[in-house]
Amino acid sequence: MLGRVTERETRPMRPTIGLPQALVYHKYFPLWGEFFSYLGADVAVSGPTDKRVLNAGLEAADSELCLPVKLFFGHVLELAQQVDFVFVPRIVAVEGDAFTCPKLLGLPDMIGALGERAPSLLSETFNMKRGMRDFYKSVYKVGSVCTDSSIKVYRAWRSGLRAQADYERQLLGGVTPLDVLGQGIPEKEPDLTIGVVGHAYNVYDRHLSMDLINRLRKSGGRVVTGEMLPPKVIERELQRLPKRLFWSYEKEVVGSAFHFIHTGDVDGIIFLLSFACGPDSLTQVLIEHEARKTSKTPMMSLVVDEHSGEAGMATRVEAFVDMLRWQKGRVC
Ligand code: SF4
């Protein structure tokens, strides 16, 4: 069943809310995890991704969809039997002058189309273009699955925002979401700095990325990512484009790539993309063009699809790291 479940008689005493560990999870999990916990819900997180979850998504989703959305299906199906509701927000816009990708806009409808296999969804539209009043209405509707008290929902939201701000402070301080989640290995006396850019759901999903961050750390790399850059740096870099980009999350990817390309703060850049992503096919051209123009910082684009093998990825990453060392004159 798709849609809001806010009627009192359908509300469990202490609902279990499922958060799929895919798509925007790595971006917003402190906010929503804290919000629902504050309201007294039990929060269940799916995953992490493994072959079984991915295969379930591949089997259930339309073959035309991009890999991260197919994977999202797998995470939703994993939660379906364990929770009262799976939280699948329709995120239309997170700022005034851009939208999210159309696939994110249609996510609740696509999951709802699973028919009998679809779990009960907790889904509201979040559209910053309609203003804060409309945004808060959606927050209250989501919170009303746990309580009738708008004051309590307000407090839960404030508490969620504090958790999110604390998380973002940690990322700006130089750690990755994997480290916050306890999934990152420590760096070992790194002699190279490597910028990794791409959507958070590609970069921080250890199965999808074939553990790229930890793999680089094991090879002696210090990894820096777009999440470690303040928004004003990203905005400044975007001024290099002749036209503004329409998609918020792609702006972050392009802005961080441009920063690494132009500052020379990194020895090399890896751009991680997933198969069948429409927006990434455009941003890849923009980023590769910018990298060629400056030709200062080596860059490698890695595209993951449902058939990507770990051996092929490992070979390419090792060869790239060796090339960076050779370029720095550290090996002959
Ligand atoms: S931006 Fe690309 S990968 Fe992300 S949801 Fe849209 S099409 Fe899929």
198 lines ligand 1 (CB under 6 A): no
Q: What integer pLDDT is reported at residue 264 of this predicted model?
A: 86
Q: What angle do CA 118, 54, 253 make, to 5 degrees?
A: 100
Residue from 26, 65, 90, 199 whose mutation best tests the ligand 1 pocket (most atoms within 8 A of CB): 199
* Residue 196 Cβ < 6 Å to ligand 1: no
Taking Cα atoms as reference points, which of 132, 136, 86 lies closest to residue 112? 86
Q: Which of 98-112, 158-172, 284-298 has the highest mean pLDDT?
A: 158-172
Q: Cα of 63 to ligand 1 centre, how many Å?
A: 14
pLDDT tens by residue, 177-191: 999 999 999 998 899
Q: For ligand 1, is residue 280 a contact (CB within 6 Å)? A: yes
Among protein residues, the one whose CA lies closest to atom 3 of ligand 1: 277
Strand runs labelled E in the chain? 16-19, 42-45, 85-87, 90-93, 121-122, 125-127, 192-197, 221-225, 268-274, 299-304
Residue ranges and CATH numbers for the domains of the chain are 8-171 (3.40.50.11890), 174-327 (3.40.50)
Collapsed DSSP state (helix, strand, coil) of residue 187: coil
pLDDT score, position 227:
97
- In this prediction, residue 71 carries a pLDDT of 97
Q: Ligand 1 pocket test: which of 274, 283, 284 has the largest number of ligand atoms within 8 Å of its C-beta? A: 274
Q: What distances in angstroms separate CA 262 from CA 113, 130, 185, 273, one per listed residue? A: 45, 36, 28, 21
Ligand 1 center to residue 93 CA distance, Å? 15
Mean predicted lDDT score pLDDT of the chain: 92
pLDDT one-digit tens code per residue, 266-309: 999 999 999 899 999 999 999 999 999 887 899 999 999 888 77
Query: 177: which residues sit within 8 A by CB, 6+ positions away?
Result: 26, 171, 200, 204, 227
Q: Is 103 in the pocket of ligand 1 (CB under 6 A)?
A: yes
pLDDT in tens, 204-236: 999 999 999 999 999 999 999 999 999 999 999
Whole-number Å distance, alpha carbon 111 to ligand 1 midpoint, is 15
Under a CB-based contact definition with an 8 Å cutoff, are residues 199 and 68 in contact? yes
Structural contact between residues 313 and 210, judged by C-beta atoms closer than 8 angstroms: yes
* Residues 123 and 2 sit within 8 Å (Cβ to Cβ): yes
Question: For 70, what's the count of Cα atoms within 13 Å in the CB-facing half-sphere?
Answer: 24
Residue 194: what are its φ and ψ, rounded to 5°?
A: -125, 125
The pairing of beta strand 221-225 with beta strand 125-127: unpaired
Place of tokens 């210090």: 222
In this predicted structure, the answer to whether residue 312 has a pLDDT above a threshold of 90 is: no
